[in-house]
């Protein structure tokens, strides 16, 4: 595994739409392993591939209950809403209040290409939404309703 550089706000790569993963190969496994190491080292709860300069629909989340790897994720269901503080490893030292669903169910593929569903509530739902937004060139700041 290797640490990757986390790109910062202002880098155009963060504003592009990522392409779907078609090949579930060794290259993808290495990307996921590197992202994991990079996220834990930075003490983040989520990281999306564009944040390491790779425009592929890949993100990872770990809010403290284990790592979830999401390839080609799609939010299938959402329920309720929550208002809370959010930050991003690409915007260090900043945060703001964002409204997110309280609960989301995501359909995705794992690193072997198998489809699965995962449901997250509260912080996990927020992290899923935040990371999937990155795959569409959206930064949480686009959705901040006020500074906290
Ligand atoms: Zn982020």
C-alpha torsion sign, points 32, 35, 39, 45: negative
Structural domain boundaries enclosing 29: 12-147
Ligand 1 center from residue 50 Cα (angstroms): 10
CATH number for position 43: 3.90.45.10
Position 1 pLDDT exceeds 90: no
Is 76 a member of any domain?
yes
How far, in Å, CA of 81 to CA of 15, rounded?
25
Is the pTM here over 0.95, yes or no?
yes
Confidence of residue 91 (pLDDT cuts 50, 70, 90): very high
Is 107 a member of any domain?
yes
pLDDT in tens, 76-86: 999 999 999 99
What phi and psi, each to the nearest 5 degrees, are found at residue 103?
A: -145, 135
Tokens encoding 66: 């284990």
Ligand 1 center from residue 22 Cα (angstroms): 24
Ligand 1 center from residue 68 Cα (angstroms): 16
**What is the count of structural domains for the chain?**
1
Is 4 a member of any domain?
no
Q: Stretch 40-57: mean pLDDT, rounded? A: 98
Q: Would you please indicate which residues are annotated as catalytic (active-site) residues?
A: 131
């Amino acid at each position: 595994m290797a640490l990757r550089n986390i790109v910062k706000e202002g880098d155009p790569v963060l504003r592009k739409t990522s392409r779907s993963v078609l090949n579930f190969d060794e290259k993808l496994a290495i990307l996921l392993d590197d992202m994991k190491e990079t996220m834990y080292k930075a003490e983040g709860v989520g990281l999306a591939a564009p944040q390491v300069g790779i425009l592929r629909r890949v993100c990872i989340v770990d809010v403290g209950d284990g790592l979830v790897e999401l390839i080609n994720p799609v939010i299938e269901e959402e329920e309720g809403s929550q208002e809370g503080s959010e930050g991003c490893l690409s915007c260090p030292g900043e945060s703001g209040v964002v409204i997110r669903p309280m609960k989301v169910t995501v359909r995705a593929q794992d690193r072997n290409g198998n489809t699965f569903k995962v449901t997250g509530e509260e912080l996990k739902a927020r992290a899923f939404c935040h990371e999937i937004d990155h795959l569409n060139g959206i930064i949480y700041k686009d959705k901040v309703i006020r500074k906290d």
